[in-house]
């Protein structure tokens, strides 16, 4: 169940909970496999105004019953963000810098003294206008992702605020758009030609090249000592000692099941993965630093797989059937202007965005001087 529409007023909180509970169950594929992740498991509730109050009360009850706090930004929340160290590798941001960022967010009014997310932060995240110190600007995307997870709340839209999105005649009648439309207007089917043997060979070659560019270094460990203080105000940690990096001998490193790890990360068969690792000639590097090797191998194999899929797509026209460009004038487009991006290069004067990814894409298209015109799923680049 992905949508719930209440066609009558629900009289009790219990009835609302049971209804929402059914919608929050993880969806199951035909073979019985549960599908996880918010991309698929997103419940949309078309609700009356009373649902907003119900959602707030339900959240308070969960906090009281379980001790889980929603919408709280802790001072250690950003410590695990990976930051480039200038040598081509990454290191964690660390507690001290995480605490520095936390203090800044309080000073900006994004969170209160207890770390509770304020509406100012939600507005900044929604409009992509989050203010960060200069020292953290290069990590803006990762910091924003952390804050979006913590600041998330039930989004309620007022249907009365929907407005008609007008067409951009200057773009619609331009030569650039006509050239674009002539290329994409045909109704087509597509097939993917996939050569497994070539994928294995390409992935093995790519992995060998990647390990030449970024050799696997020996495993090193840091030992940290800290004092923990637990009181009614929460848990506080004060770091006391940090050891110098200690290199671990290969014999001391416990090797994980590399085939299972890479199978989970790449969705390839164990046989294909074993062939890739063997043919790369770099399997010996695995014992030196298993986690670094697995991470690099998974990224390389997935990148090779994506390129193989893209290169293998073949489109076939369905006779002479095609879409008419007059659809843009005849089909009415409605949307919330608050969540839309004003557009100068698109067919409509606003791009209605269904996600942050679409918003960033539209904004990038508007800024990029190489983009002449674009629509939801197509753009024409200058040559």
Give the whole-angstrom CA distance, residue 190 versus residue 315. 4
Measure Cα distances from 240 to 224, 227, 228, 237 in Å.
8, 7, 10, 9
Better-predicted residue by pLDDT, 98 or 65: 98
Place of tokens 């990590």: 139
**What's the confidence (pLDDT) of residue 207?**
92
Q: Are 145 and 128 in contact (CB under 8 A)?
A: no
Q: Are 310 and 241 in contact (CB under 8 A)?
A: no
* Mean pLDDT of the region 268-276: 91
Q: Where are the alpha helices (DSSP H) in the chain?
A: 13-23, 50-66, 95-107, 119-126, 140-151, 169-172, 175-184, 196-213, 258-266, 270-280, 285-288, 290-311, 327-330, 356-367
Whether residue 300 is predicted with pLDDT greater than 90 in this model: the reply is: yes
* 266 closest CA partner among 296, 294, 302, 295: 302
Q: Categorize the per-residue pLDDT at 233 as very low, low, confident or very high, splitting at 50, 70 and 90.
A: low
**What's the confidence (pLDDT) of residue 209?**
92
Q: How far is CA 67 from the centre of its chain?
A: 28
Better-predicted residue by pLDDT, 102 or 3: 102
* 126 closest CA partner among 108, 148, 105: 148
Give the whole-angstrom CA distance, residue 48 versus residue 4. 11
Give the whole-angstrom CA distance, residue 316 versus residue 187. 9
Does the CA dihedral 283-289-290-294 come out positive or negative? Answer: negative
**What's the confidence (pLDDT) of residue 378?**
37
Give the whole-angstrom CA distance, residue 203 versus residue 262. 13
DSSP, residue by residue, 270-281: HHHHHHHHHHHT
**What's the confidence (pLDDT) of residue 221?**
72
Q: In this predicted model, what pLDDT tens digit does every residue of 111-136 receive, in sequence order?
A: 888 788 887 888 888 778 888 888 88
Phi and psi (nearest 5°) for 9? Answer: -70, 130
User: Most confidently modeled of 42-46, 198-202, 246-250?
Assistant: 198-202
Helix (H) or strand (E) holding 5: strand 3-5
- CB-CB neighbours of 105 under 10 Å: 24
Task: Tell me the whole-structure pTM to 2 decimals.
Answer: 0.41
Instruction: Check residue 3 and report its DSSP letter.
Output: E
Q: Are 115 and 75 in contact (CB under 8 A)?
A: yes
Mean pLDDT of all residues in the chain? 77
Q: Are 263 and 273 in contact (CB under 8 A)?
A: yes
Q: Who contacts 202 (Cβ-Cβ below 8 Å, separation ≥6)? A: 304, 307, 308
Whether residue 373 is predicted with pLDDT greater than 80 in this model: the reply is: yes
**What's the confidence (pLDDT) of residue 78?**
85
Report domain extents, the chain. 3-66, 82-151, 162-185+323-381, 196-313
Question: In the chain, what percentage of residues exceed pLDDT 70?
Answer: 75
Q: Are 276 and 204 in contact (CB under 8 A)?
A: yes
Q: In this predicted model, what pLDDT tens digit does every residue of 346-365 receive, in sequence order?
A: 877 888 776 677 888 888 98
Q: In this predicted model, what pLDDT tens digit does every residue of 138-176 receive, in sequence order?
A: 888 888 888 887 776 545 555 666 667 777 788 777 888
**What's the confidence (pLDDT) of residue 382?**
34
SS3 call for 134 = helix
Q: In this predicted model, what pLDDT tens digit does every residue of 206-227 receive, in sequence order?
A: 999 998 888 877 767 777 777 7
Strands 246-247 and 313-322: unpaired
Whether residue 10 is predicted with pLDDT greater than 50 in this model: the reply is: yes
Measure Cα distances from 350 to 155, 208, 249, 342 in Å.
21, 46, 59, 4
């Amino acid at each position: 169940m992905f949508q719930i529409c209440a066609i009558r007023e629900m009289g009790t909180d219990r009835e609302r909970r049971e209804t929402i509970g059914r919608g929050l169950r993880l969806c199951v594929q035909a073979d019985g496999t549960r599908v996880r992740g918010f991309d698929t498991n997103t419940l949309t509730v078309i609700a009356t105004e009373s649902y907003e109050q119900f959602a707030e009360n339900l959240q308070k009850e969960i906090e009281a019953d379980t001790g889980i706090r929603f919408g709280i930004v802790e001072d250690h929340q950003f410590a695990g963000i990976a930051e480039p160290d200038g040598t081509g590798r990454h290191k964690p941001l660390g507690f001290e810098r995480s605490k520095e960022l936390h203090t800044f967010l309080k000073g900006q009014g994004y969170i209160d003294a207890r770390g509770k997310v304020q509406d100012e932060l939600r507005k900044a995240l929604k409009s992509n206008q989050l203010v960060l110190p200069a020292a953290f600007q290069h990590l803006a995307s990762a910091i924003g992702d952390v804050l979006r997870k913590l600041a998330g709340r039930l989004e309620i839209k007022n249907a009365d605020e929907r407005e008609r999105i007008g067409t951009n005649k200057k773009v619609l009648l331009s030569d650039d758009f006509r050239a674009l439309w002539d290329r994409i207007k045909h109704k087509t089917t597509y097939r993917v030609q996939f050569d497994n043997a070539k994928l294995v060979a390409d992935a093995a070659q790519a992995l060998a090249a990647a390990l030449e560019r970024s050799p696997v270094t020996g495993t090193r460990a840091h030992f940290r000592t800290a004092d923990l203080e637990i009181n009614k105000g929460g848990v506080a940690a004060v770091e006391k000692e940090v050891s110098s990096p200690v290199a671990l001998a290969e014999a001391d490193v416990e090797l994980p099941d590399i085939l299972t790890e890479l199978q989970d990360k790449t969705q390839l068969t164990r046989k294909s993965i074993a062939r890739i690792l063997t043919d790369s000639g770099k399997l010996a590097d695995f014992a030196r630093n298993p986690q670094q090797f697995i991470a690099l191998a998974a990224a390389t194999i997935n990148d090779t797989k994506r390129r193989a899929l893209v290169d293998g797509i073949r489109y076939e026209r369905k006779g002479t059937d095609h879409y008419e460009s007059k659809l843009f004038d005849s089909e009415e487009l409605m949307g919330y202007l608050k969540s839309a991006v004003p557009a100068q290069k698109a067919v409509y004067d606003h791009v209605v965005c269904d996600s942050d990814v679409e918003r960033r894409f539209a904004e990038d298209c508007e800024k990029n001087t190489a983009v002449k015109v674009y629509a939801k799923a197509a753009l024409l680049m200058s040559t």
